[in-house]
Structure 1
Amino acid sequence: MMPRALIILALVALTACGSRQDTTDRDTNLRQLRNPTGTPEEFSIVPQKPLEAPESLTELPTPTPGGANRTDQTPLKDSVAALGGSPSRLDPQAGVGAGDQALVARVSRFGRQSNIRQELAAADQEFRERRSLFNWRLVPQDTYNRIYRSQILDPYATLDAARRAGALTPSAPPR
Structure 2
Amino acid sequence: MRKSHVIILLTALTVALGGCAKRGEAPKLAHFKKTGNGPDEFTVLPTHPLQTPTSYNALPAPTPGGVNLVDQNPEADGIAALGGNAAALNSTSAAEANLINHARREGATPDIRQTLRTEDNDRRRRYGRVNIFRLGPIDDYTAAYKRQWLDADAEKQRLERRGIATPSAPPAE
Q: State the distance in 2 between where 1:103 and 1:116 align.
A: 19
Counterpart position of 2:114: 118
Counterparts of 2:142 and 2:118 in 1: how far apart (Å)?
19
Normalization by structure 2: what TM-score?
0.62
Larger RCO (alpha carbons 8 Å, 6+ apart): 2
Query: What secondary structure is seen at the aligned counterpart in 1 of 2:130?
Result: coil
- 1:116-149 Cα offsets, whole Å, 9 max, x none, are 1111211122122222221121122112211011
1:158 pairs, out of 155, 158, 170, with 155
Structure-2 change in CA distance of 1:168 and 1:111 (3 Å): closer
Q: How far is 1:36 from its partner? A: 7.1
- Alpha-carbon RMSD across the aligned residues, in angstroms, is 4.3
**What whole-Å deviation, never above 9, does each CA across 1:27-82 have from its counterpart, x for those lacking one?**
xx654335377975244223552368xxxxxxxxx975445234238654333102
User: For each residue in 1:1-30, what CA deviation from the matched residue of structure 2 results, as whole angstroms up to 9, or x when unmatched?
Assistant: x99xx7xx97xx68x94875776564xx65
Q: Count the aligned residue pairs.
A: 156
Segments of 5+ residues of structure 2 without an aligned counterpart are 52-57
Give identity over the alignment, percent: 30
Residue in structure 2 matched with residue 107 of structure 1 by the alignment: 103
1:141 is aligned to 2:135: no
Q: Distance in 1 between matches of 2:157 and 2:41?
A: 45
